[in-house]
């Protein structure tokens, strides 16, 4: 029996939004470890440089593109730079997201509602609108949307966030059907609470919670899947309740 060889992403280009910290940084590092060049996107350069330094210290490659996914012109400019610099795209990970203020929906301001949806849902539309044509011209690839179990279950005092993730799940399922003919596999990952600074985890034991690397591992499984199949949805939970 021949020895199984690890799948490599050598030569592939991966765009990761929200790559400056937490889950996005872990995903970008993991993809670089697998051989891809990670294009690190985020609104603030300093944390992106920290992720780039971690990738470089591990012998990987990355590039930084400052981008606000809630701003169409910013996303369009990012996509133009990716095409101009690399000429192709293989992986798009839509990870950028915000939680928004906690509290009853009837007390939420319209501005706060718009901020959550502009980042968590409209931002994914923008990146897909800008980068899917490049994936199509590249004759295939992956789009991976980082959602949440809040897109599957009720989240009292977090209705806007929950609604944005329910919407992201529906977008992902529909997009998967639209792009299958182009050999583009669209997947959604719905993790439970992850031990990052993204939101408060009062009363939970950090060592029992999901870690950013767990989500990155799920992404790695998706992008190394055999060509004839794909995992359209992954629900990620901790082994023990925190």
- Here the CATH number for the domain that contains residue 77 is 3.40.50.720
Residue 52 lies in a domain: yes
User: What angle separates helix 159-179 from helix 123-137, to the nearest 10 degrees?
Assistant: 20
Would the pLDDT of 199 be above 90?
no
Residue 8 lies in a domain: no
Distance CA 50, CA 120 (A): 23
Residue 177 lies in a domain: yes
pLDDT tier, 1 (very low <50, low <70, confident <90, very high otherwise)? very low
The residues that are catalytic are: 161
Are 33 and 111 in contact by the 8 Å Cβ rule? The answer is no
Would the pLDDT of 3 be above 50?
no
Residue 45 lies in a domain: yes
Pairing relationship of beta strands 61-66 and 91-94 according to DSSP bridges = unpaired
Look over the chain and give the mean of its residue pLDDT values, rounded to a whole number: 94
Residue 7 lies in a domain: no
Its domain, for residue 222, covers 13-236
Would the pLDDT of 71 be above 60?
yes
Question: What is the rounded average pLDDT of the residues 148-177?
Answer: 97
Selection from 131, 147, 143, 206 nearest residue 177 by Cα: 143
pLDDT at 204: 72
Residue 5 lies in a domain: no
pLDDT at 4: 38
pLDDT tens per residue across span 126-147 = 999 999 999 999 999 999 999 9
Number of Cβ within 10 Å of residue 73's Cβ equals: 9
Question: What is the rounded average pLDDT of the residues 177-202?
Answer: 89
Question: What is the rounded average pLDDT of the residues 210-231?
Answer: 95
Query: Pick the residue with more confidence: 38 or 1?
Result: 38
Question: What is the rounded average pLDDT of the residues 101-124?
Answer: 97
Question: Is the pTM above the cut of 0.85?
Answer: yes
pLDDT tier, 206 (very low <50, low <70, confident <90, very high otherwise)? confident
Q: How many domains does the chain have?
A: 1
pLDDT at 5: 42
Residue 1 lies in a domain: no
Residue 111 lies in a domain: yes
Question: What is the rounded average pLDDT of the residues 164-176?
Answer: 98
pLDDT at 79: 98
Question: What is the rounded average pLDDT of the residues 27-40?
Answer: 97
Would the pLDDT of 152 be above 70?
yes
Would the pLDDT of 212 be above 70?
yes
């Amino acid at each position: 029996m021949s020895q199984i060889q690890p799948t490599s992403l050598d030569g592939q280009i991966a765009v990761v939004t929200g790559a400056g910290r937490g889950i996005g940084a872990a995903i970008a590092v993991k993809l670089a470890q697998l051989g891809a060049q990670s294009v690190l996107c985020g609104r603030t350069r300093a944390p992106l440089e920290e992720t780039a330094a971690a990738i470089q210290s591990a012998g990987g490659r990355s590039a930084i593109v400052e981008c606000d996914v809630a701003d169409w012109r910013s996303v369009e400019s990012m996509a133009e730079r990716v095409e101009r610099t690399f000429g192709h795209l293989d992986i798009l990970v839509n990870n950028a997201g915000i939680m928004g203020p906690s509290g009853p929906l009837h007390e939420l301001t319209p501005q706060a509602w718009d901020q959550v949806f502009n980042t968590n849902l409209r931002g994914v539309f923008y990146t897909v609108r800008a980068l899917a044509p490049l994936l199509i011209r590249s004759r295939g690839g992956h789009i991976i949307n980082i959602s949440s179990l809040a897109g599957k279950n009720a989240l009292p005092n977090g209705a806007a966030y929950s609604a944005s993730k329910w919407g992201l799940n529906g977008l992902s399922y529909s997009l998967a059907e639209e792009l299958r003919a182009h050999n583009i596999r669209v997947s959604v990952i719905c993790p439970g609470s992850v031990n990052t600074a993204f939101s408060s985890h009062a009363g939970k034991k950090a060592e029992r919670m999901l870690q950013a690397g767990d989500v990155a591992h799920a992404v790695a499984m998706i992008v190394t899947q055999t060509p004839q199949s794909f995992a359209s949805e992954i629900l990620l939970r901790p082994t023990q309740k925190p």
